[in-house]
Structure 1
Amino acid sequence: MLDLPDESALYTALTNRDPVYEGRAYVGVTSTGIFCRLTCPSRKPRPENCRWFATPAAAQAAGFRPCKRCYPAGATAEGDVAVTALRDAIEADPGRRWTEADIEEMGYDPSTIRRAFRRHFGMTFLQMAREARLREGARRVAGGDAVIEAQLDAGFDSASGFRQAFSKLFGHPPAAMRKGEGLVAEWIETPLGGMIAVADEDALHLLEFTDRKALKPQLARVSRDVKGRIALGRSSITEKTAQELSDYFSGRRDRFDLPVAPHGTAFQRRVWSALQQIPAGETRSYRDVANAIGQPTATRAVARANATNGIAIVIPCHRVIGADGTLTGYAGGLWRKEKLIAVEQSYARRGAESA
């Protein structure tokens, strides 16, 4: 991992609660014995009482305890009790049609929950719940059920509402996806949210989080490139993708063994190939990637290619960070980038301990 910046820069970020070092730097407070994120809302310590760490594990090894306000030992969203409880409620009953009255009955303020979910995930709780219902409907359609049955089971009041939500995601209505040849799309659930995997029997063509705004144009591009629509279903490659993602998040796999067929220009594919050479637990700057492909002046073009990667996680665009070690924009959300880097840091730590 890249070295920490100088202490004055870190202290400035701490006092301003600047998120640029989120997931990359932590402060241990010698007067309390507690370590925090730099964005922690707690009262700020004096500079002489600060020690700086690159990982939660390093802070804990030095004898500091994790703060109970900012939850530095896990992903940011995991520290919010209300967010965790409501996400668990969605998973327990994905077909439920939630309302703000339901949120109030659980003892939470709807406006506070709305802001918290937007801050962590870029969507509201109700939007996340609607996505879960759509996922259930997609699974029913893929399994051969009638669209109206899938609609009712997914908690949509009208067929038009289900078709509209489905079409917004895939680019065409659900009935059109019951038949097709070639590429198939399967919904895969991960600890970071639902993902759409698009593949044939030979390679993975797309893997993206379902809440990304770019998903629909990416699906359209893949469909256009193969001159046909994408059907709902599964292939040996989507099944392998689901299994390897499960192994990755559970700590059993740090590399993917999946054939990929990314859709992009020759330059973009060179960048994406370079990203696959970055080991888990390590990061690179955009300039590093530009140098790796032999075009040191193409930093901005590399950044654009990184942002348009359509095979998330497997082609690890999350391993590219700012030259100063800060987390930079990640199309899937900085909270996901933070979590992915934390997962991969655990691989690196285990490797160092066993060496």
Structure 2
Amino acid sequence: MLFTLPDHATLYRALLERDARFDGQAFVCVATTGIFCRLTCPARKPLAQNCTFHDTIGACIEAGFRPCKRCHPMQAAARAEPVIAKLLEALEADPGRRWYESDIVALGLDPSTARRAFKRHFGMTFLDMARQRRLREGFTALSEGAKVITAQHEASFDSPSAFRQAFAKLIGCAPGALSRDAALQASWIATPLGDMIAVSSARHLHLLEFLDRKALPAELTALRKSTPGGIGVGRLAPTVQAETELSAYFEGRSARFETPLAQGGSAFARAVWQALREIPAGETRSYSQIAEAIGQPSASRAVARANGANQIALMVPCHRVIGADGSLTGYGGGLWRKQRLIEIERAYAPQRGPKNAGLGISPGPA
């Protein structure tokens, strides 16, 4: 368990007050309706004697309750906060807009409240997210064959230098350095937990990382140097398959990933990554348990290093590895994101498929 539930009276009071502090950490099951909800659900409040509380979605499902259609407890908790929902809707309506704090005020929202809410749920501010979204528009334009100047305008940057600097800071190279004929092609994948970069060859996915991972520029540079022709921009078949599978994952439909993967690294690292893929969604392991699983029980620290060197997030689920005491440990995508992923996967525990489903790692580039 990641959280210890307070007593029934405390949780019922939180339900009545729609206390956001418990959102995603506790769920209420209502005996008279057979549904379970977030504590922030806007629906009419049930009587205390009809409520039971659980700390996981999986526990609610196992108890025979179905998810509420008003508060959608199966979705990420972030959108339950009105300030986040309102700003995300505004961003989707006009993705190319250049946002300022004055725009947030014009929507009737407090900038400091928005800043704290976005940092808590996404590890970045709304203005950071909006800037990242504009870069996505530029990246998409490049992947569709547009010239850099066109991509700059698509991303709503006033000057070519500002676009190049922002692009280089995020991706690790200037947009002009991305070859159009390279064997490896990079593309942008949007997810509810932040945008990701996918790099694929014609047959395999080579990299899948959240954009704010600090190691991403170095990882892309290493891939570019190790591949004749460097990295281009485009959407090859493995990236398309990865995006489809990620969409199903975040929508709560499937935790199976069958995109063919190409992973380098040592034989030891590949053994660790294989063991990670064998952890069922909804479960976690410690570093020592992974070390035992690969037949090297004294190699916990080496397992931790291999775990951190994984370049294919979610599909090789390094987020499922926690401390031996049950605490969250380091994660390149941010501990806030690791917690969200574990929460999301609790819903998959009762319905997971065969233990070895979705394996098939290629030993190297192709």
Q: In structure 2, what is the Cα distance between the partners aligned to 1:238 and 1:62?
A: 37
- Structural mapping, 1:61-100, within 5 Å: 61=63, 75-100=76-101
Q: From the superposition, tell whether residues 35 and 267 of structure 1 become closer, same or farther in structure 2 (CA, over 3 Å).
A: farther
Residues 1:200 and 1:105: Cα distance change in structure 2 (over 3 Å): same
- TM superposition shift of 1:298: 1.7
- What is the letter of the counterpart of residue 307 of structure 2? N
- The aligned runs of 1:239-254 (5 Å cut-off) are 239-254=240-255
The corresponding residue for 1:123 is 124
TM-aligned CA distance change 1:129 to 1:291, over 3 Å: same
Deviation at 1:132, TM superposition (A): 0.2
Q: Greater CA deviation, 223-232 or 270-279?
A: 223-232
Displacement of 1:108 in angstroms is 1.9
Decide whether the 8 Å contact of 2:11 with 2:53 is kept in 1: no
Alignment correspondent of 1:29? 8
CA deviation after TM superposition for structure 1 residue 286, in Å: 1.2
- Residue 85 (structure 1) shift: 1.9
Matches within 5 A, 1:308-347: 308-347=309-348
1:15 corresponds to = none
- AA aligned to 1:337 is K
In structure 2, the CA distance between the partners of 1:277 and 1:350, relative to structure 1 (3 Å rule), is: closer
Using the aligned pairs only, state the percent identity: 51
Looking at structure 1, the residues matched to 64 and 259 of structure 2 have their Cα atoms a distance apart, in angstroms, of: 39
Instruction: State the alpha-carbon separation in 2 of the partners of residues 127 and 53 from structure 1.
Output: 35
Q: Secondary structure at the match of 1:82?
A: helix
Relative to structure 1, the CA distance from residue 325 to residue 188 in structure 2 (aligned partners, 3 Å threshold; closer, same or farther) is same
Distance in 1 of aligned mates of 2:289 and 2:309: 18
TM-aligned CA deviation for residue 247 of structure 1: 2.2
Question: Are 2:285 and 1:306 equivalent residues in the alignment?
Answer: no
Residue pair 1:135, 1:187 contacting (<8 A) in 2 also? yes
**AA of the residue aligned to 1:157:** D
Q: TM-score, normalised by structure 1?
A: 0.80
Deviations 1:171-215 (A, max 9, x none): 322123252321000111122221111010121100011122221
Specify the code of the residue in structure 2 equivalent to 1:206: L
Structure 1 53/177 Cα, relative in aligned 2: closer, same or farther at 3 Å? same
User: Is the 1:142–1:178 contact (alpha carbons within 8 Å) kept by the matching residues of 2?
Assistant: no
Name 2:170's counterpart in structure 1.
169
Corresponding position of 2:349: 348
What is the aligned-residue RMSD (CA, Å)?
3.2
2:136 equivalent in structure 1: 135
Q: What pairs with 1:223-242 in structure 2 (closer than 5 Å)?
A: 223-242=224-243
Which residue in 1 is equivalent to 2:210?
209
1:257–1:31 Cα change, 3 Å: closer
State the alpha-carbon separation in 1 of the partners of residues 8 and 64 from structure 2. Answer: 11
33 and 172 in structure 1: CA distance in 2 versus 1, 3 angstrom threshold: closer
Contact 1:180 1:231 (C-alpha < 8 Å) held by counterparts = yes
Map of 1:7 onto structure 2: none
Q: Per-residue deviation at 1:251?
A: 3.1
Q: Residue type matched to 1:179 in 2?
A: R
Q: Which stretch of structure 1 is more off in the superposition, 174-183 or 343-352?
A: 343-352
What amino acid is aligned across from residue 320 of structure 2 in structure 1? Answer: R
Q: Would the alpha carbon gap of residues 224 and 335 (structure 1) be closer, same or farther in structure 2, given more than 3 Å must change?
A: same
Distance in 2 (CA, whole Å) between partners of 1:131 and 1:172 is 16
8 Å contact kept, 1:53–1:59: yes
Structure 1 residues 96-151: Cα deviation after superposition (integer angstroms, max 9, x where no partner): 10001001111222233223322322222111110000000011111112221221
Contact 1:29 1:35 in 2 (8 A): no
Residue of structure 2 in register with 1:280 after alignment: 281
Q: 1:48 matched to which residue of 2? A: none
Residue 257 (structure 1) aligns with: 258
Q: Secondary structure at the match of 2:112?
A: helix
Tell me how far apart the structure 2 counterparts of residues 234 and 62 of structure 1 sit (CA, whole Å): 42
Aligned to 1:18: none
Taking structure 2 as the reference length, the TM-score comes to 0.78
Partner of 1:145: 146
SS in 1 for 2:195: strand
- 1:190 is paired with a residue of what secondary structure? coil
Give me the whole-angstrom Cα distance separating, in 2, the residues matched to 1:99 and 1:205: 36
1:190 and 1:38 map into 2 onto residues whose CA distance is: 23
* Partner SS state of residue 216, structure 1: helix
Name structure 2 gaps, 5 residues minimum: 24-51, 354-366
SS of the residue aligned with 1:33?
helix
Displacement of 1:345 in angstroms is 2.0
Unaligned runs of 5+ in 1: 5-20, 42-50
Please say which of residues 265-274 and 101-110 is displaced more in the overlay. Answer: 265-274
- 2:157 corresponds to which letter in structure 1? F
Question: Structure 2 vs 1, CA of residues 201 and 210 (structure 1 numbering), >3 Å: closer, same or farther?
Answer: same
Deviations 1:141-162 (A, max 9, x none): 1111222122112111111111
Partner SS, residue 96 of structure 1? coil
Question: What is the correspondence of 1:1-20 to structure 2 with a 5 Å cutoff?
Answer: 4=1
Question: Could you tell me how far apart the structure 1 residues matched to 2:208 and 2:183 are?
Answer: 16
Give yes or no for contact 1:285–1:322 (8 Å, CA) kept in 2. yes
Aligned length: 321
Q: In the alignment, which residue of structure 1 is the partner of 2:360? A: none
